[in-house]
Chain A
Amino acid sequence: MNGVMLSQGLRSPMRHLAGLRRAKAISTSIVHNETIFVKNNDEFVNKVMNNDKPVIVNFHAEWCEPCKILTPKLKELIEPLNNLDLAVVDVEDNAELVHTFEVKAVPAVIAIRNGLIVDKFIGLVDADMINNLIDRMSGKKKDGA
């Protein structure tokens, strides 16, 4: 339904939609657009797998220099967006998630939509790749573009 509304490109439906989203956000107590810091499996299931927005999941470690560059960059690009969330998973605190998603190196970025992995990249990639992924996930580009 989001896609249909967006493609009509009308301002008032957009504002209406935005209004709905805000209200909906309050009722589900997810703070609109703030980065999700995943502390445990339950939080991951609730806020990432069950999120109706696509989520970029960033596997991060404090001791990892490239992570210290990528994570703030992702925050900067994703926090302003209404229709895409960012979740940061600290690999030291979430050993099981690391294992489940077969994360063998950090930084690792996995894109999840409706509970399914739709993209993944490992390592600090260039700005183009990041922007590309974000555009695709936030619907600015068609999938597969």
Chain B
Amino acid sequence: MAPIGGWMCCGRKAKLVDPLTESVCDEDGTYDYDLAVLGGGSGGLACAKEAINQGAKVAVLDFVTPSPQGTKWGLGGTCVNVGCIPKKLMHQAALLGEAIHEAVAYGWQVPSVDQVKINWSSLTEAVQNHIKSVNWVTRVDLREKKIEYINGLGSFKDPHTIIATLKNGSQKELTAKNIVIAVGGRPHYPDIPGAKEYCISSDDIFSLSNPPGKTLVVGAGYIGLECAGFLNSLGYSSTVLVRSVPLRGFDQQMAGMITSEMEEKGVKFHHRCIPVSVEKLETGQLRARWLNTETKEQGEDIFDTVLLATGRYALTEQLNLKAAGVNVLSENGKVVAETEQTNVPHIYAVGDVLEGRPELTPVAIHAGRLLARRMFGGASQLMDYDNVATTVFTPLEYGCVGLSEEQATQRYGADNLEVYHAFYKPTEFFIPQRNIRNCYLKAVALREAPQKILGLHFVGPVAGEVIQGFAAAVKCGITMEQLVNTVGIHPTVAEEFTRLNITKRSGKDPNPASCCS
């Protein structure tokens, strides 16, 4: 039997230590692998698995450098370990907590409902157990598909040679005919005193050993808002520092609905504020100081946890791209590659590491698969990055597909657009008297008949589920005429899209009179 985790080469033996001789990879192209993938996350694994299907010989390198707080995780990338999966589980935990209270209004006899509390250890244990099961299944899957998995940090020695540095410091070298960079990104730490020493990031929150307590979230992108959202619902008082605007890049009217809802649930927002310092007190708590960039006022407060969510950066620096001849990095350090191909023809990039593409798991997976088919299957289909639907999983969710109202206005001009909108009241909200003030949706369309739809936006429960089907419709070029002629399913929240009939331009009141008419 081959040694566990050992080499399975059929071409040549891989070298264990960087030799003094030049890389023995000659012009006729006898490489160790047809494809080496740097990064075992959503994009990398999808590409590797499709390549194996196409008959290629594949190796995947994956390595997690511990976070400043020392957190590490297994195979599967950001989504599985410190992204989508644990996020959605904690979001669900938060929603269930709210549901317990709503249940009382429906007649459930919940004993001591006011004393219902979350046990943070139980929650993180359940979440981490699930993640570990996914790590394991991923590893078993790779072994079964005969994809070589190397737990090492990859960097280029030359355009076809990669050095993998393992945890114990030893190095392995491998050559590959094609290489895909799918290294993703990690949280960015602002350059302020106390950031790396005392603050955590999304890398740490999902396995935090102690309950987070009173938390300051620095950053109001979707990561910051989602975290502040579930922490608040779980019972941990949350404050958010917003540097410019919440959910920058998203439709701002909808972003406003989301933050209103969070405020009404008790999350505090400090707008136009940047963090200045974080210091640790004798009690073990943290004193965070911030500056309002408009009023120049300083603010501060004591917290148990400070969670930094100030953006993510691509892990391209450690790749030594210079040795590979790859020179297409943007200012942010991301790889510029329109069709996932860099300036070096056999070196590609996929996933969060790409410049100007949505940083989403399904985007990376789909692009990775199509790329592998182009590399080894003779296919020519390119990834379509337009009209990719997404959802922000704040307690009241925001789902959207297509252009924001701002983007559409910029591209076509307000005169050429028609925006249909409405507030709505989910049936289930009445009995527990849930807040309906922020239940809102809109369709941004071209003004000229048949009014092709450019963007759909929805704030409400299960927004992700609501928007998914409409994403397929938008891909088919759905028009307002088709939408309003679609019969809704009743009673749902998704049917509100089929009931849209009031335009912003008309100035009419978009609040609902009653349902069923």
Contacts and interface: CB of A to CB of B under 8 A. Distances in A.
Nearest to A94: B4
Contact of B132 (A63, A96, A99): A63
Interface string A97-110: 01110011100000
A104 to B, nearest CB: 6
A44 to B, nearest CB: 12
Contacts of B140: 98-99, 103-104
Interface SS of chain B = helix
Contacts of A48: none
Nearest to B126: A65
B109 interface: no
B136 A61 contact: yes
A64 B129 contact: yes
A65 B144 CA distance: 24
B143 A99 contact: yes
B1 interface: yes
B4 A92 contact: no
Contacts of A98: 140
B133 A64 contact: yes
B128 interface: yes
A77 interface: no
A88 interface: no
A25 interface: no
Contacts of B129: 62-65
A61 B4 contact: no
A34 B43 CA distance: 46
B4 A96 contact: yes
Interface string B122-138: 00000011101100110
Nearest to A98: B140
Given A91-B136, A95-B4, A96-B1, A63 B128 contact: yes
Interface in A61-113: 61-65, 91-92, 95-96, 98-100, 103-105
Nearest to B129: A63
A100 B143 CA distance: 11
Contacts of A61: 132-133, 136
Nearest to A102: B144
A62 B143 CA distance: 21
Given A63-B128, A64-B129, A92 B143 contact: no
Contacts of A104: 137, 140, 144
Of A62, A63, A92, A96, most B-chain CB atoms within 10 Å:
A63
Contacts of A62: 129, 132
Contacts of A103: 140
A61 B133 CA distance: 9
A101 to B, nearest CB: 12
A99 B4 CA distance: 10
Contacts of B128: 63
Given A62-B132, A91-B136, A95-B5, 12 more contacts: A61-B132, A61-B133, A61-B136, A63-B128, A63-B130, A63-B133, A95-B4, A96-B4, A99-B143, A99-B144, A103-B140, A104-B137
19 contacts: A61-B133, A61-B136, A62-B132, A63-B129, A63-B132, A63-B133, A64-B129, A64-B133, A92-B136, A95-B5, A95-B139, A95-B143, A96-B1, A98-B140, A99-B143, A99-B144, A100-B1, A103-B140, A104-B137
